[in-house]
Structure 1
Amino acid sequence: MESIRRVAVLGSGSWGTAFAKVIADAGRDVVLWSRRQTVAEEITRLHRNSDYLPDVTLPTNLTATSDAAEALAGADAVVLAVPSQTLRTNLASWRPLLPAGATLVSTAKGVELGSLKRMSEVIAEVAEVPADQVAVVSGPNLAKEVGAEQPTATVIACTDVQRAEALQHACSTRYFRPYTNVDVIGCELGGACKNVIGLACGMADGLGFGDNTTATLITRGLAETARLGAALGADPLTFAGLAGLGDLVATCSSPLSRNRTFGARIGRGDSIAQAQAAANGQVAEGVKSCASIRELGARHGVEMPITDSVYRVCHEALSPRVMAAELLGRARKAEWS
């Protein structure tokens, strides 16, 4: 695998913009695609994205366009930075424009509704490429902190080690440290499930519960994520790493986490619609993913009580306070049973 020199990032939201900045800071030429031309023009001319990262000055080797063909032309790697449930539709429209052999990089964290496919599986299917051409980026990477160049690490997961290493070099900076991993399944499940557990932690906070409750939800949430991973063939060690515990702690603990913040509003009594309105019309990823993750667990006979409870709050109007009582009232058992 040759080195990566030019990168297209498709999606100019907070994480797409932050990750594009990382790659540009690593010395690569980056073209960021934005659906809105006004955003693309602001990024190129003023080196800012005031809608998503207003306090960040973007590098001059990062430009933007609203023309997908222009963004993709000559790219060695293509970063897909769109929400998980819109990935299939977006990628289908970009499919004819993808450069042959380019590494396709998923940053979306979710399981597709209906198909129950992980994002790398959706990419391989829609783009009609082998699985080892698809990489996944996952870790404790809150966009605002990354944009501010606060130190963090991440995981580049790909079954093709050379592709993973090429991408690792393409996004290594003084503040962003990537590690490689071949366990794509584990990294993706960690990233998807943490959004659901983040919602649960937010609900607990909204109910007025403290750090003991948060720590309990993080730990037991990790346990059910690892059970699902084991059923799907993931490496158990992945869940103790950056894409597992690392991402989970950041999402469940930080006020910058959209899922935790969204969950806190639900815990304080907001409806899903009210929480969405407070989030400028955006729905937290876990609200949708809890349905597909719950179904995936059921398909493989995996018990996922927190995920099930979050689903019932989000989609069956279960009260968060009743959810807490039900989780605490479950049958007693050994911790590792």
Structure 2
Amino acid sequence: MATNTPNLECRMYEAKFPDVDMAVMIQVKSIGDMCAYVSLLEYNNIEGMILLSELSRRRIRSINSLIKVGRIEPVMVLHVDEDKGYVNLSKRRVSEEDIQVCEDRYNKSKLVHSIMRHVAETMTIDLEDLYIHVGWPLYRKYGHAFEAFKLIVSDPDSIINTLTRVIKETGPDGEEVTRVVPAMSEDVKDALVKDIRRRMTPQPLKIRADIEMKCFQFDGVLHIKEAMRKAEAVGNLQCPVKIKLVAPPLYVLNTQTLDKEQGILILNKAIEACTEAIEEHKGKLAVKEAPRTVSEREDKLLSEHLAKLGRENEEVGGDDGSEEEEDTGMGDIDVENKGIGIIE
């Protein structure tokens, strides 16, 4: 299986050419007077052609508004010439449903291809050979290798150990014999499983909501503290809820979960519980930002902002015992105990 100069170029699917009336992902290479030349990304960049008359159902006013060099998009297969090795395509005949199916398939195939190519490169093996004995059998059995890779994350042996290859050897008597052996060596198997787990292990989503909470009653700080506890009590082990003070009266609720819909639902319930608790004491809660997923950058910016506020509070804390502090009365409650609030 290993060679000194492995081939790292290969189509994503077992078929060398796409079927007619199939949507495929292309990249535009050049635009001529009569047609645009493209490469089929899923089929090892074989050449395709789109007649300018197949760009749009409407009257074409500007070619550049319809197609540009470098653009990647789905188109429909009209005709395949396997002898000449090119494909006639149409942009105007692809429907919204076709586009959605094509994009979903391509995104999955691209990830599978990236993993397969990385394994072939690092283990110095032929990419097409890896596809023949591993990738394409998984496509046939599971509909898409992506579905098999998802199962490999948690139980690799049950998937990979079913893959075999037939080799021919010369026996002791000089006659040729065939043997069925595993599709991959243990080293290649370990590299494949490691790369799949690194690329496909689900990562928890961070869900966040921003609220404003106030209570003007006596012991308002304690009422806010209790409302925060009610909000956090809504969470569970799979979707824990945390609430933090940003700057009075602004608070953030956040959670981490693999299920986006479940995370948003939990935070909405936490907001409801918090609202009910604070309104019992004539307080008010306003949702400034509804529960939504946040990026690593947004989460980092929030953490940096909270850290900055913490440092500023420490600097102010050096004036303990001042007359001004005695006049204001209600101080901060320990953040760790979630008892932060202000009476205005």
With structure 1 as the length reference, what TM-score do the two structures score?
Answer: 0.23
Structure with higher helix content: 1
More strand per residue: 1 or 2? 2
Using structure 2 for the length normalisation, give the TM-score: 0.23
